[in-house]
Amino acid sequence: MDESAQNSDSDGGMFPAPQERRPVGAYRVLARKYRPSRFEDLIGQEPMVRTLKNAFDLDRIHQAYMLTGVRGVGKTTTARILARAFNYQLPARDGHPAVDRPTIHMAELGVHCQAIMDSRHVDVIEMDAASHTSIDDIREIVDSSRYQPAMARYKVYIIDEVHMLSKSAFNGLLKTLEEPPAHVKFLFATTEIDKVPVTVRSRCMRFDLRRIDTEVMLRHLAGICDKEKVEINHEALLLIARASEGSVRDALSLLDQAIAHGAGAPIEAEALRTMLGLADRSRTIALFEAVMRGDIAEALDTLKEQYDFGADPAKILTDLAEFVHFVTCMKISAKTAEIAAGQFEREKGAELAQKLAMSVLSRAWQILLKGIDEVKDSPRPLAAANMVLVRLAYAADLPSPEDVLRRLGGGASASTSEPARGPSGPSGGASAALRAAPQLATVRVAPAPRPAQAGPVAQIGPVAQAAPEIMLREFADLVALAAEKRDIQTKTALECDVRLVRFEQGRLEFALAPGASPTLPAQLSRKLQDWTGARWLVALSSQPGAPTLKEQAEARENERRVGVQAHPLVRATLERFPGAVIVAVRGGEDEESSPTAPLYEGAEARGDEITYADEAQEEDL
């Protein structure tokens, strides 16, 4: 309520406004000026108010209360109102009886109300747990709680952001919190209830303060604007209500900023978008239509235009996701958008809800939700947002799983839209629903031939065919198959860990090299069955087996080095450069056909390349 109304206590329920000592002419922000001082002034918290009213009327007042919720919904304010209700006292006057008991019906300022609301009452101690986290701070509270209140009925401890207390501080508070003196009440406020130990939560009566609904927030802001004599249109109020995300304090702070931005002029939605850096709602809808139509060029131009106007790319995608959610809700029930949107948005939402399938909207929501995080984390937000729109436009053409099954199942000839990717983007699918004169390329799916058999076949969908068997004639074929399947781990194990004993189609016997995994046979059995379509017997053998492929390659390399060293040219080179060693020998073209041929007999003919290294470099190599 405003100060002009508070200065008169003749209007049922109004009471004199608290007088603060502040410099003459100092401005008082709206969030403080219109801070509730009674339960009747709280908005959007009716369940909590009803519970507290019944508790006070039945004299069932709890010893500790836990108030939780997001920022700006009134946790600390509610705690102060509760402290005032605990200590409400009103002397008899003008024929009205005295009030000397806890009550939430506080039509007038009581004896202690002014000091409690000014946070200067000696028996109402407010503590910020963010700056008083230690056990020493809690020990002071425990020690002082033993003494009777100096003036009021109850000694009230208000601990804000209670989740910031240390573990030892919480433990030090437990005993007093469970069995406090009769004259002590605890009020806790927190935005992160999960960080409060369950041992503390179980000792408190908990109230979850809710975010304020858009409709309630609009009425509240409109009432304040009337009292402040500020001209503002409904669309601008709707922008503030959305941007506040259910926080009254955020909404009033934005309204304060809007009034200052307007400098006394009527506040319009366009000026408010400029101030907040928001995208125009009509441009957001136009962007969504362009993306669903597959017109990527127009979508990117619209995004760039809003970006140049000052809108944040992540915020643009967030608005786009909100509109997708809005259209989805409109498709389910039009009543969901009666208050939360303007007339133009409702009309467009209803139109798009009829044209777009639920699967398209669901897919768009998922892509945008993932894309928003990508844009926020990207060093180039605009480029990342462009790629999200491209992905969204092309994904709009993808058929649903039901369409895919219907097309693959055969039957009557069906026309299906093939995504024709033109210079401006994809066509078909969801974009076809939004195109005024769609030009679709069609593909005729021929019906599947019926098998010649006596009775009818009860079958839905395509026939699952077994994978053809793959014949492996030798062990090298198996290694090549692993490479073809891009299974590098299995290929390495076959080359380094398998000492082959026997190999034939359907049977593999080998011994394990030192250090090999004992589960290798079971893994190979599964891989072979998946790859070849046939069952394989893979077994470990007690025989030593042949050297592994790696060992065979190393033996051939050593043989080549020994053969090369006998070559006259190589021998002359080694003598010419004392200390040089042969590092590698790279064979000629016919190496694979004759890998074990002595290199010194045909080194010149094949043109082998020999690499030398100084002896001082040998250790590094």
pLDDT, tens only, 68-106: 998 888 899 999 999 999 999 888 777 777 788 898 888
Residues in the chain: 621
**Amino acid identity of 447?**
P
Q: Could you tell me if 44 and 85 are in contact, meaning their C-beta atoms sit under 8 angstroms apart?
A: no
Q: Among 250, 251, 396, 372, which Cα is nearest to 315's?
A: 372
526 or 420: which carries more pLDDT confidence? 526
Residue 439 has pLDDT above 80, yes or no: no
CA distance 544 to 182: 85
Kindly report, residue by residue over 110-131, the tens digit of the pLDDT: 889 889 988 889 999 999 998 8
Local confidence band at 410 (pLDDT 50, 70, 90 cut-offs): low
Label the pairing between strands 155-160 and 184-190: parallel
Give the pLDDT mean for 341-355.
78
Half-sphere exposure of 287 (CA within 13 A, CB side): 30
Of 211-220, 266-275, 580-589, the least confident? 580-589
Local confidence band at 155 (pLDDT 50, 70, 90 cut-offs): very high
In this prediction, residue 190 carries a pLDDT of 93
Give the pLDDT mean for 279-298.
83
In this prediction, residue 514 carries a pLDDT of 87
Of 119-128, 401-410, 438-447, the least confident? 438-447
Give the pLDDT mean for 388-408.
74
- The average confidence (pLDDT) of the chain is 78
Task: Classify residue 337 by its DSSP letter.
Answer: G
Give the pLDDT mean for 166-182.
92
pTM: 0.55
Residue 461 has pLDDT above 50, yes or no: no
CB atoms within 10 A of CB 266: 11
Task: Classify residue 197 by its DSSP letter.
Answer: -
Local confidence band at 429 (pLDDT 50, 70, 90 cut-offs): low
Local confidence band at 408 (pLDDT 50, 70, 90 cut-offs): low
Kindly report, residue by residue over 496-531, the tens digit of the pLDDT: 988 888 888 888 888 888 888 888 888 888 888 888
530 or 605: which carries more pLDDT confidence? 530
CA distance 480 to 340: 63
201 or 447: which carries more pLDDT confidence? 201
In this prediction, residue 535 carries a pLDDT of 81
In this prediction, residue 451 carries a pLDDT of 43
CB atoms within 10 A of CB 493: 21
Ordered structural domains, the chain, with CATH: 35-208 (3.40.50.300), 281-405 (1.20.272.10), 475-540 (no CATH), 549-618 (no CATH)
Of 323-327, 344-348, 419-423, 542-546, the least confident? 419-423
Q: Could you tell me if 355 and 331 are in contact, meaning their C-beta atoms sit under 8 angstroms apart?
A: no
In this prediction, residue 597 carries a pLDDT of 39
